[in-house]
Amino acid sequence: MECRFIKCHGSGNDFPLVDGRMLSLSDADWGQLARALGDRAGPVGGDGLLVLTAGDEQAAFGMRMFNSDGSEAETCLNGLRCVARAGFEALGIDHAVVRLKTSRATVAAAAPLATSVYTIEETAGPATLDLADWPLAGAGARLIDAPLASLSPAQRFTAVAMPNPHLVGFVDRIDEEELVRIGQLCEAAPAWLPNRANVSFVEVRDPVTLFVRTFERGVGLTDSCGSAMAASTYAACLTGRIGYDRDVTVLNRGGLVRARAAADAMVTLYGNATWEWEGEVIVDLAQARAGDLRVLRHHDAEIAAWAQVADAAR
C-alpha cells in the first residue's frame, strides 16, 4: 500500500502520523503499519505510529497510537498534541474533545512555548491508582512511594495509570542501566504484570522542575514520553514533592513540557507539536516493511525553532 504521512514530534517523542479517517485497515494491519514505519532501520523510523481517526457525538476526532512493536497504547500525550494539530488543521478548529482508546482528553491551541513553536494545551485523566485495573499482583490495592520486591528491594515506586500504566520512581540521580533493567523486566510481561508497564525515574531538580527518563512499554528507552511526564507530575504531587495546581517544568532528553496536576487527578500539559517533514512510502503490510520513500516537504523553520528549545533544556 502507499501511505502518506507527516513525520512529527512532541518533546522529541517522534512519530509518523497518518490521517486514517478514510482508511479501512484491520487492527492487525495497523499494527503491521506501525512496525514498518516505526522501524529505526527503515526509511521513516519513530517511537510508534499516530493515527487521526473520525469523531463521534462527543469528540471532534479521535486518536489511535501504536507502539513500534505493533501493540496499541491507551494513549500517548506527546502524540496527542500532534494529532490535535492535524485535527485542528483538517477541521478548521482550535479546540476539541478527542476520543482515545479508553478515555477522552481535551485539547486547545495555546500560546507558543517559544518563538515559532506550535503549542497545544492538553488535559487528561483522571489519573488512577487502582492496581486491579492493570493488573499488578503482589503490591496491594495501591502502590504509593513503596518498594516493589519483584523489581528492586531498594527503589520505591508509585503506580499511576494515565490511563496507560506507569511505575514512577524518584531518585537523586538517574541510573540509566538500572532503569533499563527494570524496564525490561516489565516489558517481559511477567505473570504478576501481564500487560506490562512504562517505567520512569524522576529527579526533582527544584520545587518547580522535574527531569524524567522513561523506559516505554512497546518502545524501550525513549527520549520523551508524554503520559510518563503527566504521571510523574501527579506522583510528585501525590507524594508531597511538589504542590498541586502549580505550574512546573518537566525536562527530558527531547526537550520539555509545562505541566500542572490538580487535586482531582487531572493533569494538564503544555507542549509542542512540531512538523519535521512529510512523505509518501510504499509499505508491504504482510512483511511489515517500508520501501520506496518520497519526501514531499521539509519544515526546516519548525525544526530550527524546536532545536533552540531543546538545546536550552539540556
Query: What pLDDT was estimated at residue 231?
Result: 97
Structural domain boundaries, residue 280: 2-112+273-313
Q: Are 107 and 92 in contact (CB under 8 A)?
A: no
Residue 67 confidence (pLDDT): 93
Note the pLDDT of residue 299. Answer: 98
Q: Please indicate, yes or no, whether residues 29 and 47 belong to a single structural domain of this protein.
A: yes
Dist. CA 220–CA 67, nearest whole Å: 10
* 26, 107: one domain: yes
Active site residues: 76, 225
- State whether 138 and 13 are in the same domain: no
Residue 118 belongs to some domain of the structure: no
Quote the pLDDT of residue 105: 95
Number of domains in the chain: 2
In order along its 314 residues, the chain shows pLDDT tens digits of 999 999 999 999 999 999 999 999 999 999 999 999 999 999 999 999 999 999 999 999 999 999 999 999 988 999 999 999 999 999 999 999 999 998 999 999 999 999 999 999 999 999 999 999 999 998 999 999 999 989 998 999 999 999 999 999 999 999 999 999 999 999 999 999 999 999 999 999 999 999 999 999 988 999 899 999 999 999 999 999 999 999 999 999 989 999 999 999 999 999 999 999 999 999 999 999 999 999 999 999 999 999 999 888 77
| Domain contains 254 | yes
> So what's the pLDDT on residue 313?
78
Res 312: pLDDT: 81
Instruction: Please list the alpha-helical segments (H only) found in the chain.
Output: 27-38, 77-91, 176-187, 226-238, 300-313
Asked if residue 139 and residue 13 are part of one domain, the reply reads: no
Is 253 found in the same domain as 136?
yes
pLDDT at 148: 93
Q: Among candidates 166, 10, 182, which has minimal Cα distance to 86?
A: 10
* CA count, 13 A, side-chain hemisphere, 307: 7
